[in-house]
Amino acid sequence: MIKNLQKLLAIPSVTGTPEVFDALACVLDICKELGFRTKNVDGKLGYAEIGEGEELMGILCHLDVVPAGEGWTCEPFAGTVKEDRIYGRGVMDDKGPAMAAIYAMKDVLESGKKLNKRVRIIFGVMEECGDWEDMEYYKSCEEIPSFGFTPDADFPAIYGEKGILMAVLSMDAAKAGFLEIAGGDAPNMVAAWAKGKLLDGSVFQETGKAAHGSTPEDGENAITKLMEKAAARDCHFAKVYMDKIGWCLDGSGCGIGLSDSASGGLTFNAGKISMDDGKVKLAVDIRYPVTYAEEDVVSKLCDNFADAEIAVEIEAAMKPVYMAQDGFVISKLMEAYREVTGDDTPPQLIGGGTYARAMDNIVAFGPAFPGRELTEHQANEWIFTEDLEKAREIYRLAIEKLACE
């Protein structure tokens, strides 16, 4: 397994480069050598399959990686093994987990246990760019799995992910009250800086504390700090901001304070502000509870800001992921995890987004174990070889429980 993983890690398959298809050819060759049925789907993505039966179980992986970036002390595209770790871009996200899943399928195939379902591992090549056109193409022309998992997050199983909306709230600059305004780096980050200049010449500059947009309570929003001071100087946009957003992180000020028993409350993060095309534009990140639909949030948001002459535009949306904790899939995944690890940590529900959103009835399952350092997207990305072997064992057992019993 490690040898073939090193072969895959040596391919610099950065999203959007031709090398992603070299990585696809590599894994399909490996799977074919292991006795799987394989298919390259029109040069856009591919899959490998074992087992028999009408029902199809899916395992979603991706072979594309983010750029290596600076700061490496070893070759990023080599799969260097040092002591108890293997290093390389994509070793955690997602080539290492993909290889663990491949070899788990091999173990099931060689065990002689009869599969009553087909198990298909699907290899995407566009996960890191966020639009997932490859998976959309797959769904348009190939059989869609009834259920499955993606080894692209954390152990134990993640049974739910809140819905995600990226929206832009805009107001004509002439009405807003700012001559200049800028702040934050991305909608899904708590703004760590903000600066602005009002029509009366007042200048403000604020600093905050960055955090992920799904957990705004972990940060300190510099945009809100600036707006609080600007509102005191009668700045129209800032007054609306403090009235409808302010320091409230659950969206209740702008009419979307939704909550459910399954996933808790909505979170609202003002992540980035700018002045473009004669408008002040505020980019926000909204994570809404799993039992609600996008329309439940958008309609209320638009209605609430209409009287303030603020336009709402939805730039990106991802629907929630949710499976019952006591349902068949989560129960079997948790059985496999607990039998191998002895860890009774319950399944998790998160505000972040994983590859599970690419298809219905897919949940995130590994490879990061509780308490382990998360190294994906960082210089010197690494994973313990022991953890890869343990993930392989968990995935083997999960496949047996889901597709053999």
Per-residue pLDDT of the chain (405 residues; tens, 9 = 90+): 999 999 999 999 999 999 999 999 999 999 999 999 999 999 999 999 999 999 999 999 999 998 888 899 999 999 999 999 999 999 999 999 999 999 999 999 999 999 999 999 999 999 987 779 999 999 999 999 999 999 998 999 999 999 999 999 999 998 999 999 999 988 888 999 999 999 999 999 999 998 888 889 989 999 999 999 999 999 999 999 999 999 999 999 999 999 999 899 999 999 999 999 999 999 999 999 999 999 999 999 999 999 898 999 999 898 898 988 899 999 999 999 999 999 999 999 888 778 898 999 999 999 999 999 888 888 899 999 999 999 999 999 999 999 996
Instruction: Show the tokens assigned to 371.
Output: 């308490």
Residue ranges of domains in the chain, CATH in brackets: 1-160+322-404 (3.40.630.10), 163-318 (3.30.70.360)
Active site residues: 64, 127
**How does DSSP assign 230-279, residue by residue?**
HHTTT-HHHHHHHHHTTT-SSSGGGT---EETTTEE-EEEEEEEEEETTE
Measured CA to CA, the distance from residue 290 to residue 160 in angstroms comes to 7
Q: Is 256 in contact with 150 (CB distance < 8 Å)? A: no
Do β-strands 362-364 and 147-150 pair in parallel, antiparallel, or remain unpaired?
parallel
Measured CA to CA, the distance from residue 177 to residue 269 in angstroms comes to 22
Burial class of residue 302, CB neighbours in 10 A (0-12, 13-18, 19+)? middle
Measured CA to CA, the distance from residue 35 to residue 30 in angstroms comes to 9
Kindly compute the dihedral angle of the four CA atoms of residues 376, 156, 262, 354, in this order, to the nearest 10 degrees.
30
CA quadruple 298, 303, 307, 309: dihedral positive or negative?
A: positive
Measured CA to CA, the distance from residue 199 to residue 222 in angstroms comes to 20
Which of 297, 237, 307, 326 minimizes the C-alpha distance to 273? 237
